[in-house]
Amino acid sequence: MIGLIGAMSVEVEALMAKLDDRKETKIGMDTFVSGRLFGKDAVLSVCGPGKINAALCAQSMILHFKPEWVLNLGVAGAGETGVSIGDMVVATAAVQHDVDTSPIGDPVGMVSKINLIEIPCDEALRVKLVKAASAVEGVKVHEGVIATGDQFIHDGGVRSRINGLFRAKAVEMEGGAVAQACYMHGVPCGVLRSISDQADGHSDMDYPTFTSLAAAHSQRVVELLLSE
């Protein structure tokens, strides 16, 4: 069984449509749809935006379905100028840019209890994701840190601060939470994002215009990954 989590339905609906022998399971306010996806056992869920929604969904998925790995997929804002709308970012690690206990001596971004800034993503899964993403025509693939926080980033100054602290290639709102839940349960994790906007406040129309296209790209990568 493999687990796939998107924050919004546009980020998983193309995969949901391809799921055979579907079965729905509700846990709290999360709905999990399991079945066969491109010949593999899979469970999909739309967790809703933000870190707590994502962590709760990932934990329920892990405990109930025992997936061999969990992938968080969807769209993200660009984390730096070298990353453009339509590009894809595969995470080497995820950080939580809004965690800050620096006034009591911790480095910015250090997540207490697991005591990590960078929550690692599974290397074998990352290599396969990069290979699959590179097969999508016209898409540039980056590997690096993905930064998560409970904010939609829409300001060049905020974006540069996050990039300066963490070298983030993409900013989004769930990957670091899914990665933390996976880390705490010893489950391999991947984060795959397709860039929908520049996150710098310069082009107000980026996000609505490019979200469906970007979401389609990351779902195509999962199709290639599972069909290999």
Is residue 75 close enough to count as binding ligand ADE by CB under 6 A?
Answer: yes
Contact in structure between 217 and 89 (CB atoms under 8 Å): no
Binding residue for ligand ADE, selected from 152, 156, 158, 223, defined by CB under 6 A: 152
Place of tokens 């209890």: 113
Binding residue for ligand ADE, selected from 16, 33, 43, 76, defined by CB under 6 A: 76
Contact in structure between 177 and 52 (CB atoms under 8 Å): yes
Is residue 199 close enough to count as binding ligand ADE by CB under 6 A?
Answer: yes
Is residue 77 close enough to count as binding ligand ADE by CB under 6 A?
Answer: yes
Q: How far is CA 26 from CA 35, 179, 223, in A?
A: 15, 22, 25
Contact in structure between 170 and 79 (CB atoms under 8 Å): yes
- Provide the residue type at 106 as one letter: D
Binders of ligand ADE: how many residues, by CB under 6 A?
13
As a whole number of angstroms, the distance between CA 43 and CA 41 comes to 7
To ligand ADE, the closest distance from the beta carbon of 68 in angstroms equals 27
Binding string, 34-53, against ligand ADE, x = CB under 6 A? --------------------
Binding residue for ligand ADE, selected from 61, 88, 125, 173, defined by CB under 6 A: 173
Is residue 153 close enough to count as binding ligand ADE by CB under 6 A?
Answer: yes
Of 191, 192, 90, give the one whose Cα is nearest residue 143. 90
Binding residue for ligand ADE, selected from 11, 30, 80, 172, defined by CB under 6 A: 172
Place of tokens 């996806």: 37
The catalytic site residues sit at 11, 197
Chain residues in the site for ligand ADE (CB under 6 A): 75-77, 152-154, 171-173, 196-197, 199, 207
